[in-house]
Structure 1
Amino acid sequence: MSDNDGKKTLGLRGGPRSGQVKQSFSHGRTKNVVVETKRKRVVVPKPGAGKGAGGAAHAGDPSKRPAGISDAEMERRLKALQLAKSREVEEAKQRADEEKRREEERQRRREEIEAKEREEREREEAARRKAEEDERQRLEAEEAKQRAAEKPAPQQPEEPAAAAAAPEAPRGGPKPAPRKERETREERPARGKARDDAGRRAGKLTLNQALTGGEGGRQRSLAAMKRKQERARQKAMGGSMEREKVVRDVQVPETIVVSELANRMAERVADVVKALMKMGMMVTQNQPIDADTAELIVEEFGHKVVRVSAADVEQVIETAEDKPEDLVARPPVITIMGHVDHGKTSLLDAIRNAKVVAGEAGGITQHIGAYQVQTDSGTTLTFLDTPGHAAFTSMRARGAQVTDIVVLVVAADDSVMPQTIEAINHAKAAGVPMIVAINKMDKPAADANKVRAELLQYEVVVEAMSGEVQDVEVSAHTGQGLDELLEAIALQAEILELKANPSRAAQGAVIEAQLDVGRGPVATVLVQNGTLKQGDIFVVGEQWGKVRALIDDKGERVSEAGPSVPVEVLGLNGTPEAGDVLNVVETEAQAREIAEYRHNAAKEKRAAAGAATTLEQLMAKAKEDENVAELPVLVKADVQGSAEAIVQAMEKIGNEEVRVRVLHAGVGAITETDIGLAEASGAPVFGFNVRANAPARNAANQKGVEIRYYSVIYDLVDDVKAAASGLLSAEIREKFIGYAEIKEVFKVSGVGKVAGCLVTEGVARRSAGVRLLRDNVVVHEGTLKTLKRFKDEVAEVQSGQECGMAFENYDDIRPGDVIEIFEREEVERTLA
Structure 2
Amino acid sequence: MSDTDGKKPLGLRGGPGSVKQSFSHGRTKSVVVETKRKRVVVPKAGSAKPSASGAGKAHYGDPSKRPAGISDAEMERRMKALAAAKSAEVQDAKNRAEEEKAREEERERRRREIEEKAREEAEREAALKAKEEEEARAKKEAEDAKKREVQAKKPAAVAAPKVDDDPAAAQVALQKQMDRGGRPVTPAPRAREREETDRNNRNKVADNRRSGKLTVNQALTGGEGNRHRSMASMKRKQERMRQKAMGNEQREKVVRDVRVPEAIVVSELANRMAERVADVVKALMNMGMMVTQNQSIDADTAELIVEEFGHRILRVSDADVEDVIQQVEEKPEDLKPRPPVVTIMGHVDHGKTSLLDAIRHANVTSGEAGGITQHIGAYQVTTDSGAVLSFLDTPGHAAFTSMRARGAQVTDIVILVVAADDSVMPQTIEAIAHAKAAGVPMIVAINKCDKPDADPNRVRTALLQHEVVVEAMSGDVQDVEVSAKTGKGLDQLLEAIALQAEILELKANPDRAAEGAVIEAQLDVGRGPVATVLVQKGTLKRGDIFVVGEQWGKVRALVNDKGERVDEAGPSVPVEVLGLNGTPEAGDVLNVVDTEAQAREIAEYREHAAKNKRAAAGAATTLDQLLAKAKADETVSELPILVKADVQGSAEAIVQAMEKIGNDEVRVRVLHYGVGAITESDIGLAEASGAPVIGFNVRANAPARNSANQKGVEIRYYSVIYDLVDDVKAAASGLLSAEIRENFIGYAQIKEVFKVSGVGKVAGCLVTEGVARRSAGVRLLRDDVVMHEGTLKTLKRFKDEVKEVQSGQECGMAFENYEDIRPNDVIEIFEREEVQRNLE
TM-score normalised to structure 1 length: 0.44
Rg larger in structure: 1
